[in-house]
Chains A and B, each alone.
Chain A
Amino acid sequence: MNLRTLANVSKGEIFVLHNFSDENVAISMMELGCIPPIKIQVLGWALGGCPLYVKANNTLLAIRLKDAQKMIGI
C-alpha cells in the first residue's frame, strides 16, 4: 500500500502512523502517547482546513496541517 501523510487523510478515515519525517514532531506526538504504529482517526478540521481534529489512543488532539504533513503512514 502507498505511504501517505496524515494531512492527506479524509474525514472519518483511519490512518496508521508508522513514522515521522521531523524529530520535533515525533517527540511532541510521543509525549502525547502516540507511539507508532498507532491508529489515528481524522474527525474534522477548523475553518480553512487547519488545524486537524483527530482521535488517537483515546485522546482528542488538534494538530496543525504543517505538522500532519510530517506524519507518515498508511
Chain B
Amino acid sequence: MKKIAIIGNPNSGKTSIFNHLTGLRQQTGNFAGVTVEIHKAAIIFENQPIEIIDFPGTYSLFPNAADERLVVEILLDEQHAVHPDIVCYIASAQHLERHLLLFSQIQDLGFLTVLGITMLDTAEQQGITVDLPKLQQLVGVPVVSLNGRSGKGTQELLKNIKNASCQTWIRSCEEQKQFLKQQLCENFTSVKPQIEDVLQRYQRIQSIVDECTAKKMASKTFTERLDTILIHPIGGLLIFLGLMFFLFQAIFSWAEIPMNWIEEGFVWVSLYLKGLLSEGWFANLLTDGILAGLSGIVVFIPQIAILSAFIALLEESGYMARAIFLTDNIMRRFGLNGRSLVSLISGTACAIPAIIATRNISNQKERLITILVTPFMSCSARLPVFTLLISVGIPSEKVGGILDARGLILFALYLAGATTALLASKILSQIIPTSERNVFMLELPVYQYPHWKSILLTVYNKVRTFVWEAGKIILIISVILWALAFYGPTYQRQKAEQLLQEQMTSHTDNVEQLRSSIYLETSYIGMLGKFIEPIIEPLGFDWKIGIALITSFAAREVFVATMATLYSVVDAEDTRTLVQRVKAEINPKTGQPVFTFPVVISLLIFYLFAMQCASTLAVVRRETHTWKWAILQLLAMSGWAYVASWLAYRIAVFWV
C-alpha cells in the first residue's frame, strides 16, 4: 500500500486537509520511546488502497521538540512503518516564503512531492496574490490550490500523486541524508551549519516568491485590530479568565446533567440484572465489578467531550496562541506555559480530560510537568469526600463574624491543591532534563472561523481514545478491587456468618446493609484494611478508614459509599445519617470518637494530595506511553499525602 505523508508548518492548515481526506477512518499510531502520536488512515482512491499519514507540524528539519524530531527520524529511516513513498506538502499562501523552507529540505531528501497551497483567500484579503502556474514552473512539482474549510482541492491533490516529482535545491539526496544524519547524531546542537543551510535556501526561495507573488501594502488587518482588545495586558487577561471561568462552569455544571443520566442508567441496568440473575458471584461480578467499571469509564465522556470541543474551538479560531501569550510570563516562572494553565484550570473539574488536553503542549518537558502536577488540582470527585469530612469534623461557625468556617476550609483546600501543583512544577522543571532549545517564539495565527467538522472529529477521536485505551485499564482495576471486596478466606466468612446471626436481632431494619458491612470487613480488602492499620495509625486512621482508602484507590468518591457500607447506612445519598453515624463512632482502644478534628483534617489533607484515581493513572500511562511516570506520580503523590497528612494531624493534635 502506498504511503502518502501530509507534511507542513504549524498553522498551514494541513490537519484540516487530512481531516477532509480521511474523515472518521483515522487511527492513532504510537511509536516506542516517544510520546508523540501520528494520525493515519487507510482510504481507497481510484480503486487503489493508500495510507495517509498526518505528520506533526514543523518549521524545518532542525527539530526543537520531540514531535519535530520524529519527523526527521521517520524521513531518514526507510524501514520505518510510516516512511512515506510520496509527500503532499501543505504551504500557506500567506507565508509562502517561510513554508518553502521545509519544502526545500524535504525535496533535497529525494521525496516525490505534490505542493498544496492553502489560505489563498486569506492571503488575498491581506493584499497577497500567488500565481500558482508560475510557482509550479519554478519549484518543478505539481501545485494544487486547496481550501481547508470546504475541502475543495483535496481530490485534486490525490489525483496529482501520480505526477509527483522531485527537484533538488542545495544538496544532492545523498548529501542531504548524510548532513541530517550527522546533525541527528549531534542532537542538532551544532547550529552554525543549520544557519548556513537556512540562509542558502532562503536566497533561492526569495527569488521564487518575488517572481510568483504580488504584494500590496495592506492596512491594519482584522486580526491586528482584534488583538488590540484580546491581548491587551489587562483587558486580554480578564477576557481569558472569563473564558476559563466559562469552561470551568461547562465542565462542572453542564457535564453534570449527562453524567447523572449515565450514572442513573447504569444503576438501572445493574438493578435490572440483579433482579434477572440469581444471587451469586457471576451476578455480583457483572453488576459490582464490570458494570461499575464501565460506568467509571463512560461517566467521564461528557466532560472529555466538552473540554475537547472547547480547546479545539480555541485552537481552530487562533485564540489558543493568544492565551499562551497572555499567561506565558506567569506560567514560565513555574516551568510551564500558557497551555498548561488550561489543563490546570480544567483539572479542578476533572483530571482526565485535563491530562488529555496537554496534547496541545508542543514542548515535551512542559507537557510532562503539566501531566504530573494536574492531579494536585482539586477535582469534582474530591468534593463529596470533602463535604462529608467537613460536615463530620468542622463545626458550622462564623469566622470573624462573616465567613463560614466550613466554606473557608473548602476554599483553603482548593487553594492548597493549586499551590502544590505550581510548586511541584517549579521543582520538576529543575529536575527533568531537556534537550529542546530554550527559546520561546510563538506564531500568532490569523483569526479564523472554526471548522465545525474538524472540531467534531477532534472530540470523536479524543473520546474514542479515552474509552479504548484508558478504559481497558480502568475496567481491569475495577474488577480486581471487586474480587478483593467480594471474596474472603473461608475461616473469615464463617466468622462473618456468626457475627451476622448475633447482630441480626438488634438490626432487624437493615439486615442487607449489615450483611454487606460484615462481609466487607471479612473480605480480602477488609483484611488489607486491618493489615495497613499500623501504617496509617500515625495519621490518626483506623482499619475502617483503611478499607475506605483501599476501595477508593480506584476512584476517591467511592470513599463515601464505602463509609456508608461500613457504617451500615441504607442510603449513601442520605449524608445526614452517615454524618451522624460517623460522628458517633467510638475508638474501642481510646474510648474517644474516631473522627476527631485532627483525624478529619488529616483525612482531608490525605484526599487532597493522594492520587486515589485509577482513571487518572490509566490516562497518564496512556499519554506518556510508559508506566514509569504513572507509577512515579502515584508514589510521589501518595508519599507526599502521607507526610502532609501526618504533619497536619500532629499540628491539629497540638492545637486542640
Contacts and interface: CB of A to CB of B under 8 A. Distances in A.
A66 to B, nearest CB: 9
Interface in A41-56: 43-48, 50-51, 53, 55
Interface string A16-32: 00000001111111111
Interface string A46-74: 11101101010111111110010000000
Nearest to B127: A58
B440 A27 contact: no
B310 interface: no
A35 interface: yes
B444 A61 contact: yes
Nearest to A70: B439
Contacts of A62: 321, 324-325, 328, 440-442, 444
A43 B227 contact: yes
B44 interface: no
A26 B444 CA distance: 19
Contacts of A61: 441-444
A25 B231 contact: no
B202 interface: yes
Interface in B161-180: none
Contacts of B332: 64
Nearest to B218: A58
A31 B231 contact: no
B60 A31 contact: yes
A24 B440 CA distance: 10
Interface stretch (B189-197, B386-394, B556-564, B607-615): B189-197
Interface stretch (B75-83, B95-103, B488-496): B95-103
A35 B202 contact: yes
Decide if the interface of chain A is mainly helix, strand, loop or mixed: mixed
Contact of A32 (B98, B321, B329): B98
Interface in B75-123: 94-95, 97-98, 101
Nearest to B445: A60
B570 interface: no
B355 interface: no
Contacts of B95: 33, 57-59
Given A47-B326, A61-B442, A23 B191 contact: yes
B199 interface: yes
Given A53-B444, A64-B440, A31 B59 contact: yes
Interface string B325-340: 1101110100000000
B324 A53 contact: no
A30 to B, nearest CB: 5
Given A27-B195, A28-B64, A43-B227, A58 B126 contact: yes
A24 B326 contact: no
Given A32-B441, A63-B441, A51 B199 contact: no
A26 B194 CA distance: 10
Interface in B427-474: 437-446
B314 to A, nearest CB: 16
A55 B443 CA distance: 10
B224 interface: yes
B642 interface: no
A30 B192 CA distance: 12
A33 B64 CA distance: 16
Nearest to B237: A47
A67 B441 CA distance: 9
Interface in B522-571: none
A27 B62 CA distance: 9
Contacts of B98: 31-33, 57, 59
A26 to B, nearest CB: 6
B128 interface: yes
A46 B329 contact: yes
Contacts of B441: 28-29, 32, 61-64, 67
B242 interface: no
Contacts of A24: 191, 437-439
B199 A47 contact: no
A57 B97 CA distance: 9
Contacts of B325: 46, 51, 53, 62
A46 B326 CA distance: 6
B480 interface: no
Contacts of A23: 191-192, 195
Contacts of A46: 231, 233, 236, 325-326, 328-329
A2 B324 CA distance: 34
Contact of B101 (A25, A31, A45, A58): A31
B631 interface: no
B584 to A, nearest CB: 53
A41 to B, nearest CB: 10
Interface of B: 59-60, 62, 64, 94-95, 97-98, 101, 126, 128, 191-192, 194-195, 198-199, 202, 223-224, 227-228, 231-234, 236-237, 321, 324-326, 328-330, 332, 437-446
16 contacts: A24-B437, A27-B195, A31-B98, A31-B198, A35-B198, A43-B227, A51-B328, A51-B442, A53-B444, A55-B224, A57-B95, A61-B441, A62-B440, A62-B441, A63-B441, A67-B440
Given A27-B437, A62-B325, A64-B332, 4 more contacts: A23-B192, A26-B195, A31-B59, A58-B94
Interface of A: 23-33, 35, 43-48, 50-51, 53, 55, 57-64, 67
**Top 4 closest A-B pairs, CB basis?**
A33-B98, A31-B59, A23-B191, A60-B444
